[in-house]
Structure 1
Amino acid sequence: MEIIAYGVLADERLLLERAFDGRHTVRCLDLVLNRDTVPTAAGYEVVCSSVNDVLDSDVLRALAGGGTRMIAQRATGYNNIDLPEAEALGLSVARVSSYSPYSVAEFAWALALAVNRRVVRAVHRTREFDFRLNGLMGRDFHGRTAGVLGTGRIGSAFTRIAAGFGMRLLGCDLAENPECLALGMKYVGRDRLFAESDLISLHLPLLPDTHHIVDATALARMKDDVILINTGRGGLIDAHALVETLRAGRLDGVGLDVYEEEAGVFFFDRSLEVMTDDTLARLMTFGNVLLSSHQAYFTHDAVSQIVETTARNVEDYVAGRTSDNTLTSPSAPA
């Protein structure tokens, strides 16, 4: 079987080809799958999608019309896929329900530490032989309060690191995680977590109930000197409200690995183009904002697990099996 894969990064390509080696042929493209590029999928029974592909109803109908029967998403999140439409069209959809939680948790801490200790600003200065310490003062995390919004596998890994720093732990989730409780975490309501935390890290899926969970009201409840980290999904934060909060001189620092309108921007070189997203451009002007391009997951360990699970999902589809990764499961191929 021939498989077409979209949004494949250079460092990911060899791992993806090896995962299917000897079983299927995979064509790797660096294109984002959307309404403009969907004709390239014609004739491919299996489409391997990435997190920034746009699989809305129009794209899904075009895929089904071109012979696609299975979509293998190389990500945990699937908010970019219109699942009801996929099911109505008889498309099988699977995702990667889990991979190394340490990749994202450790990167969230890398952002938190870099923001707190002004590492990027310090490096820029020393490269110009400016060794002054003015404006570089940070704070000890020890003894301060970490608020973790979402305490699943990634959130609990973040919490273990926070406990190692000797921080007071607050959590908010639909269900309490026994591992976090054993570390001394106290589960509180969202408003209290926002109000009492010195460091807030977001580890929630993007759902209708979590969309813009950090909005203007939430930001107003936070301490003026809080550090806010988001390695979850860009849509968890109302970016316009965040800009207005930063313009008001509030928040000690912000670390963002995701952005709500990142599709078509992240993973690409836009350095020679005019940035038409005014909100993203404005965020980049704040010296206390550190923005990376959705790389928290990007370790050899995590990407290897992602592509291996994706390959298993395709094999399950071929064999007519389902698993915990299955999102929609029409009939198997003839």
Structure 2
Amino acid sequence: MEILAFGVQADEKPLIEQAFAGRHDVHCLDVFLTEDTAPIAADHEIVSSSVNADLNAEVLRILAAGGTRMIAQRSTGFNNIDLDVARELGLTVARVSYYSPYSVAEFAWTLAMAVNRRIVRAANRTRDFDFRLDGLMGRDFRGRTAGVLGTGKIGEAFTRIAHGFGMELLGWDVAENPACRELGMTYVDRDTLLAQSDLISLHVPLLPSTHHLIDAAALAHVKHDAVLVNSSRGGLIDTDALVGALRTGRLAGVGLDVYEAEAGLFFLDKSLEVVEDDTLARLVTFPNVVVTSHQAYYTRDAVAQIIDATVRNVDDYLAGRRSENVLVPDAQA
């Protein structure tokens, strides 16, 4: 069986090929799965997609018409897949329900520290042999308050690091995490968390109920000198509202590894092109904003776990087995 894998990064390719060796042939493509590239999958029963694939209704119909019967997505999030249409077409869709939460939690802290201590500005200065400290003053996180929106596996890992820094802990979630409680976390409503936190980090999935969780009204509650970090999903933040808040001087800094309109931009080299996204273009001009391209998960440990889970998903499909990773048909069916 030949599997067609879309959106494979150069660092991932040897890991994917090694994982499938002796099981199935795998053909890795660096292009993402979209309406334009979906016809490439013709005559491939199994395709593997990346987090930035656009598996809308039309893409799924093209895949199904070409003979695809199984989609193995190499990510936890699946808001990019029209699951209802996949179900109608009889496609099996599986994801990776778990990989190292430390990869994302540690990167969220990397962003927080880079923003707070002005690391990017300092590094750019020293490249020009400018060793002044003007404008580089940060704050101790110890003794201040960390607000964690979403206290699942990644949120818990972020909380443990915050506890190690000696921070006060506030949490918001639909269900409390006993492990976070044991660390001293107090659960409060969203607006209270935003109003009292010096560092705010987002670790919730993107759902209709969480879309633009941080909007203009929410930002109005945030401290003027707070640091906001998002390493989860771009759609959690209303970016236009965020730009508006930054223009008024609200927020000491922002660290973003995700962006709500990142599809078609992130993971690609746009350095020689004119980027037409005015919101993103304005966002990256703020000196207290650090934007990275959805790389929080990108450690050898996490990627290896993602690939191993993808291999198991393919094996399960071929053997007619179900697991917690199967989204369509429903895992409990």
1:329 shift after superposition: 2.5
Amino acid at match of 2:104: V
Tell me which residue corresponds to 2:231: 231
Q: Provide the rounded CA distance (Å) in 2 between the counterparts of 1:40 and 1:162.
A: 46
Quote the offset at 1:32 in angstroms.
Answer: 1.1
In 2, the alpha carbon distance for the partners of 1:95 and 1:39 equals 22
| Map of 1:19 onto structure 2 | 19
Q: Distance in 1 between matches of 2:228 and 2:248?
A: 16
CA distance in 1, matches of 2:132, 2:50: 43
Partner in structure 2 of residue 7 of structure 1: 7
1:263 — aligned with what? 263
- Supply the distance in 1 between the matched residues of 2:126 and 2:81 (Cα, whole angstroms): 45
Q: What runs of 5+ residues in structure 2 fail to find an aligned partner?
A: none
Tell me, in whole angstroms, the C-alpha distance in 1 between the residues paired with 2:249 and 2:199. Answer: 17
| Paired letter, 1:213 | L
Question: Does 2:208 match 1:208?
Answer: yes
Q: Secondary structure at the match of 2:12?
A: helix
Q: State the SS of the aligned residue for 1:61.
A: helix
Distance 1:307 1:276 in 2: 34
SS at match of 1:147: strand
Local SS of the residue matching 1:72:
strand
CA distance in 2, matches of 1:264, 1:14: 24
Q: Deviations over 1:242-276 (max 9, x none)?
A: 01111111110000000011111111110000010
Task: Give the 5 Å matches for 1:130-209.
Answer: 130-209=130-209
- Give the fraction of aligned pairs with identical amino acids, expressed as a percent: 69
What TM-score do the two structures reach when normalised by structure 2?
0.98
**Residue equivalent to 1:66:** 66
Give the Cα–Cα distance (whole angstroms) in 1 for the partners of residues 26 and 290 of structure 2. 36
Structural mapping, 1:1-334, within 5 Å: 1-329=1-329
Other structure's SS at 2:295 match? coil
Deviation at 1:285, TM superposition (A): 0.5
1:124-155 Cα offsets, whole Å, 9 max, x none, are: 11111111111010000000000000000000
Structure 2 residue matching 1:171: 3-state secondary structure: strand
> Alignment length, in residue pairs?
331
**Runs of at least 4 residues of structure 1 off by over 6 A?**
none
Deviations 1:59-95 (A, max 9, x none): 1011000000000000000000000110110000000
| Aligned-pair CA distance for 1:206 | 0.4
Letter in 2 for 1:13: K
TM-score by length of 1: 0.98
Distance 1:23 1:91 in 2: 22
> SS at 1:327's partner residue?
strand
Code of the aligned partner of 2:27 = R
| CA–CA distance in structure 1, aligned partners of residues 308 and 299 of structure 2 | 14
Distance in 2 between the 1:284 and 1:82 partners?
31
Give the Cα–Cα distance (whole angstroms) in 2 for the partners of residues 126 and 95 of structure 1.
43
How well do the aligned residues superpose, as a CA RMSD in angstroms? 1.0
Looking at structure 2, the residues matched to 124 and 208 of structure 1 have their Cα atoms a distance apart, in angstroms, of: 39
Q: Distance in 2 between matches of 1:240 and 1:176?
A: 31
Which runs of 5 or more structure 1 residues have no equivalent in the other structure? none
Determine the C-alpha separation between the residues in 2 that align with 1:127 and 1:77: 38
- Tell me, in whole angstroms, the C-alpha distance in 1 between the residues paired with 2:236 and 2:6: 25
